[in-house]
Structure 1
């Protein structure tokens, strides 16, 4: 018997359970191999905004490219490193390359022009401010006559 990691990923699941739609996983039916370098993503909704955190340790701010196009938040990062050591008897060369791309369809309730990003301690954070009409309102008591 072997253990297999459970992946509860349905193409339409994100549409039904979240305001955000992950374009990268739309056609992933669970049988296709998943990119192991894909960063973890957290989305938290507050009264006034959405807070998005993307775990991307080892990158620097200059490695990221973030754009918003047609209501889609596009996040990509790429970095490479190489080291070469030469001695009279040998040459040793090491190199590494990392990259990822993540796309999130933003809800209509987000003000695209006010999206802010911050990178600290390996976490890329976004603050997505809601439009005034989309902010959660406290329930109001209705008097019965």
Structure 2
């Protein structure tokens, strides 16, 4: 028998004011999402990059960071290493100007992101490299020789 209680969305264990077939005010707020009305809350000022998603995987001889950042160029990225902290950032500036007979419209945008990662001591920081292909930034963080996973071996009994 399980001793875990199932909690309703509002987090309370007991419903003190139970009115049948009528949702509580807190459950209405739980179900309300601002994403249902994107045009109501969106502005033209923030056309920037959201924080990119990252996959980090460990293989026998390295750690691999994969960051999804489509639409950028290699020159848009800054990758820095300082005190075992790897920083990946990008900055984009865009300006458009449209001049007609009686008016001038000028739009400009700015977007940026920065992700930082604390590297383990096992990373050989002198051999870190990166490449950008098909909208994915790949950062290869090789391990130091003593930290690499050794293949299994059989020990003979004497």
> What TM-score comes out, normalization by structure 1 length?
0.70
Structure 1 residues 64-79: aligned runs within 5 Å: 64-79=77-92
**Which deviations, in whole Å up to 9, do the C-alpha atoms of 1:37-81 show, x marking residues without a partner?**
211010111111111111122221111111111111111110110
Is the aligned partner of 1:53 residue 2:101? no
1-structure distance, mates of 2:137, 2:31: 32
Offset of residue 142 of structure 1: 4.0
Report the 3-state secondary structure (helix = DSSP H, G, I; strand = E; otherwise coil) of the residue aligned with 1:62.
helix
Structure in which a larger fraction of residues adopt strand: 1
1:115 corresponds in structure 2 to 128
Gaps of 5+ in 2: 1-26, 34-48
Q: 1:131 aligns with which of 124, 138, 144?
A: 144
1-structure distance, mates of 2:113, 2:31: 27
Larger-gyration structure (1/2): 2
Is the aligned partner of 1:84 residue 2:89? no
2-structure distance, mates of 1:112, 1:3: 47
Offset of residue 100 of structure 1: 0.6
1:106–1:96 Cα change, 3 Å: same
> What TM-score comes out, normalization by structure 2 length?
0.65
2:116 corresponds in structure 1 to 103
1:13 corresponds in structure 2 to none
